[in-house]
């Protein structure tokens, strides 16, 4: 999001919601990276802040969010289950941490990585 969002008496700076989403997605088993690996590369590995590229967030008139998330996953995981786990983790994190409800979460699996 490119502007502040007001939720339950809080003002959230741009990037806060995306950071929550990135952290929640990164904790789901089978997720290799958020966003495309080519976009993040070594620079993303060296920074302490979670990557927010590959995450788009839009709020509707009722304040519910539509989230678009691009991820790369590890080989061997059942992709529909992994997408369902991502949706649940993101919806839970947003509801618990900032009180935001989600209308939809669209998951794009941009690549598969093989564990080293």
* Domain range summary for the chain, segments of one domain joined by +: 5-113
Task: Flag the least confident range among 4-8, 52-56, 103-107, 110-114.
Answer: 4-8
Closest by CA to 84, choosing from 22, 33, 32, 29, is 29
Q: Identify the residue whose tokens are 């003002």.
A: 11
**Does residue 23 register a pLDDT over 70?**
yes
**Does residue 42 register a pLDDT over 80?**
no
Helices 16-26 and 79-98 pack at an angle, to 10 degrees, of 140
Residues 69-106: tens digit of each pLDDT: 999 999 999 999 999 999 999 999 999 999 999 999 99
Amino acid 6: pLDDT? 80
Asked if 71 and 32 touch (Cβ cutoff 8 Å), the reply is: yes
The verdict on domain 5-113 having CATH code 3.50.50.60 is no
Q: Token digits for 37?
A: 């690996």
């Amino acid at each position: 999001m490119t502007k502040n969002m007001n939720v339950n008496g809080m003002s959230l700076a741009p990037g806060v919601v995306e950071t929550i989403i990135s952290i929640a997605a990164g904790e789901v088993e089978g997720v290799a990276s958020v966003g495309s690996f080519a976009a993040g590369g070594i620079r993303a590995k060296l920074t302490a802040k979670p990557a927010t590229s590959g995450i788009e967030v839009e709020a509707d008139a009722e304040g519910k969010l539509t989230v678009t998330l691009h991820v790369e996953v590890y080989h061997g995981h059942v992709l529909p289950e992994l997408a369902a786990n991502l949706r649940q983790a993101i919806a839970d994190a947003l509801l618990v941490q900032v009180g935001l409800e989600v209308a939809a979460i669209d998951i794009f699996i941009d690549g598969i990585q093989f564990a080293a």
